Structure 1
Amino acid sequence: MKAVLQENKIIGTSSPEEAIFTGAAAAGYSKRIAVGRNGQSRAAEMALCSGIISSGSDVILLGKCMETELFFASRLTGCDLCLYIKEEPLMKIEVRAKGGLPLDCEANHFINEALKERSMPEIFSDEGTITDGQGFREVYKQHIEGLISKECPYSIKLSRTPGTNKLHFPENDGEELVIQLSSDGTKASVYAESCGFLSYEKLIFICCMDLFENGKDVGLPFEFPFSADNFAAKYGCKVHRYFSCSDGYSDDRGRKLAREQNFTLDGLFLALRFIDIITRKGVRLKDVPSMVPDFYVTKKFIELDKDRVEGILNHWEGSSTPGGTTFAKNENRVVMQPSSSGKGLWVQIESRSMETAAELCGRIEEKLKNDEF
């Protein structure tokens, strides 16, 4: 299967040859690239790096690492691209911009066109270099551990996530607080007996609130609940959105803030930042839900013809962005985003009621499939 870039993932790289093509395509866009992997095998890593350096670009190689460690290293070393190899039944390479941000449209188009050409790189006299970047993993570890003070009243535990077992936090007899990370490490939730689960969104809201109280704006993903905008307005601040496929200019502010804040790009950083904030403020875990907006979100993929997708998005042209289309229905918010393959729409409903969100999502799905929308 030939390699293709979809939704920030290069798939079809099951052979070393495809990995070389992928490296060459990435090198055409960026002269400095951070590379890491989640598995034991180095075959794809070596082929990918060969394609990069043979095309004249430099590699910062972290080896086996967490994806967020790669993002961290990319910021420190000025890498415009992060390539993370995932060993799955069909190998995938996650592709992100510096710091872990989604690629913009220009990068998507450039790399996809280069993948289509499938040109084997030649060895130039000014070929690129490989730098051992494993030391950045220790820097990341120190950075993360330094987020929690010795006065932290909680006994922090991490769910079983590869790479996190080497992290150490102050030991005490306080309430056990368990951090659960998403498979890629970019999102987190927190669990404690006194409060149950605190979702990713709630952790984000607390981190945002801390910035709002200091008069600072925030950068959030386009699809993050829009109740954040009203929450920001109460403090006289703004939410700047960044898109999953940016046009390269309209979300510059959101992307810049997201990279500086880091809590929407690194789940472990988010969770520890949250713990630090509530510790400083003396907030009890059980009181956190009452401090943030109350909302429910339902999200579903609806398969549609490409022409139908374009027609629906054009119908809402006045409220369209590179991230999709959003509009309000009563007190509910609807977000529609096209899939990168063009084979359908992601529909996300935000409401104050779980039942309302699910019901509205069902009605919209029915109208879309019956061509009534």
Structure 2
Amino acid sequence: MQWMAEESGWLLPDDSTLPADVPHEILGQIGAAASQTASCVLVGSRAGDARASGSAMQLCAAISAAGGETVFVPECTAGELGLLSRELHSDLLLYCGAHIRMTARGLLPMTAAAKRILCAPQQIPVQRPQDYGRLRTMPAPASAYTAYLRGIMPPQPVQPIAVTAGDARQGSLLEHAVSPAAGGRALHIQLSADGARASLYAPQTGWIFWEQLLLMDTQQRLMRGEDVALPFWLPHSAERMAAQAGCRILRYHADSEGGDSEARALAVSQGFTLDAAVLTADILRFQADGMADLRKWAAEIPPAYTVRRLLHTEQAVDAASRSALMTCAAQTPDGLCCRDPRGDVLLHPAGGGRLSVLIEAVSMEAAAELYRDVLPPPL
């Protein structure tokens, strides 16, 4: 990846993560830009990771040297940092782990405005020490985070759980939050290294992957009369479930240009789309509250298969605009949407002159076919 362009700045990947070995000069640029993005920046580092700790300390130093206020939380998980951001009202989080992940409050995706500032070329200021910004160090809020999860979970789960996690601390925190189960065979929970995604395995169901777990959680919230906040890319079968329940689905966006503030606030409050441990706690709660048969519950969710691609070149964007399928496109709050008998196609700006393509269909074959139709090879 070309990290720095002399005039136009540097390109932030669509998921707002950078490799752990990002060059030091880029960390300095990020720190200088972060000081202009939020009044208080939270910086965290993964437990037991010396490289992550070093990157986090360099970011803290750069933010402070640029005059910004920083809170450094060493040896924490992304979930703990997200919970702390709600308490401190911080709108920019930099978490150093397997990657360097940049998010907004509560682990929301950053807004387009924040990304523009972070990606703009920065003149790293030379400050006198007395002009440095305030830098504080806070311990990871393990007790508060465990109590937060425990407040979501049922007093007695239907089944015990066995957790596999890319971050051992995240797995341990989740296991400590679960009360003893009534019995039965363990549910196997697998958490991604960044703590954002979860999958579940049970003998009666096989694997239930992250997107389906999100829709299962959504279904139960809708049935209980709640509006639900979801990311724009999650299958739009959620809207059909909401219509049946008389509730709303509020969509929040990556690279938001505004207009989704209600969805963002609700997403932070509900938490399950942003933190895999919260999603797991929700699943255990609903399972104990009438949804003990996971196989039946999973079967109630309308099938949906998605293909997501990010277009980086002008030629690919031009190919999309020339597609005959785009003649039926309509502008929606999520982007340009085309409804086809085989499924839905959504084109959404992804920043940096790029285009995010999301295709949702009833089968993987139909989704792949739609993708080929929407994006023919450039002429």
TM-score, normalising length: structure 2: 0.85
Please point out which of 86, 93, 103 is paired with 1:82.
Answer: 93
Please point out which of 192, 197, 222 is paired with 2:207.
Answer: 197
Please point out which of 254, 268, 288 is paired with 1:279.
Answer: 288
Amino acid of the residue matched to residue 362 of structure 2? R
Matched, 1:6 2:13: yes
Separation in structure 2 between the aligned mates of residue 242 and residue 263 of structure 1, nearest angstrom: 14
Name the residue aligned to 1:129: 134
Name the residue aligned to 1:260: 269
Contact 2:20 2:100 in 1 (8 A): no
Name the residue aligned to 2:67: 56
Matched, 1:359 2:369: yes
Contact 1:4 1:10 in 2 (8 A): no
RMSD: 2.7
1:292 is displaced (CA, Å) by: 1.8
Residue 6 of structure 1: SS of its match in structure 2?
A: coil
Separation in structure 1 between the aligned mates of residue 37 and residue 72 of structure 2, nearest angstrom: 18
Separation in structure 1 between the aligned mates of residue 201 and residue 58 of structure 2, nearest angstrom: 41
Contact 1:158 1:164 in 2 (8 A): no
Separation in structure 1 between the aligned mates of residue 172 and residue 300 of structure 2, nearest angstrom: 33
CA shift in 2, pair 1:52/1:294, >3 Å: same
Separation in structure 2 between the aligned mates of residue 259 and residue 186 of structure 1, nearest angstrom: 13
1:197 is displaced (CA, Å) by: 1.4
Separation in structure 1 between the aligned mates of residue 184 and residue 195 of structure 2, nearest angstrom: 25
1:240 is displaced (CA, Å) by: 1.1
Name the residue aligned to 1:237: 247
Separation in structure 2 between the aligned mates of residue 308 and residue 183 of structure 1, nearest angstrom: 36
Please point out which of 354, 357, 360 is paired with 1:350.
Answer: 360
Matched, 1:18 2:17: no
Contact 1:52 1:128 in 2 (8 A): yes
Please point out which of 47, 50, 57 is paired with 2:58.
Answer: 47
1:125 is displaced (CA, Å) by: 3.6
Name the residue aligned to 1:166: 172
CA shift in 2, pair 1:251/1:310, >3 Å: farther
CA shift in 2, pair 1:244/1:309, >3 Å: farther
How many corresponding residue pairs?
Answer: 360
Separation in structure 1 between the aligned mates of residue 330 and residue 305 of structure 2, nearest angstrom: 26
Matched, 1:328 2:339: yes
Which has the higher mean CA deviation after the structures are superposed, 210-219 or 259-268?
Answer: 210-219
Separation in structure 2 between the aligned mates of residue 74 and residue 325 of structure 1, nearest angstrom: 33
Matched, 1:95 2:107: no
Question: Identity over the aligned pairs, expressed in percent?
Answer: 26
Residue 159 of structure 1: SS of its match in structure 2?
A: strand
Separation in structure 1 between the aligned mates of residue 189 and residue 93 of structure 2, nearest angstrom: 25
Please point out which of 35, 45, 67 is paired with 2:43.
Answer: 35
CA shift in 2, pair 1:16/1:329, >3 Å: same
Residue deviations 1:219-248, cap 9 Å, x none? Answer: 111111011111100011111111111112
Unaligned runs of 5+ in 2: 5-9
TM-score, normalising length: structure 1: 0.87
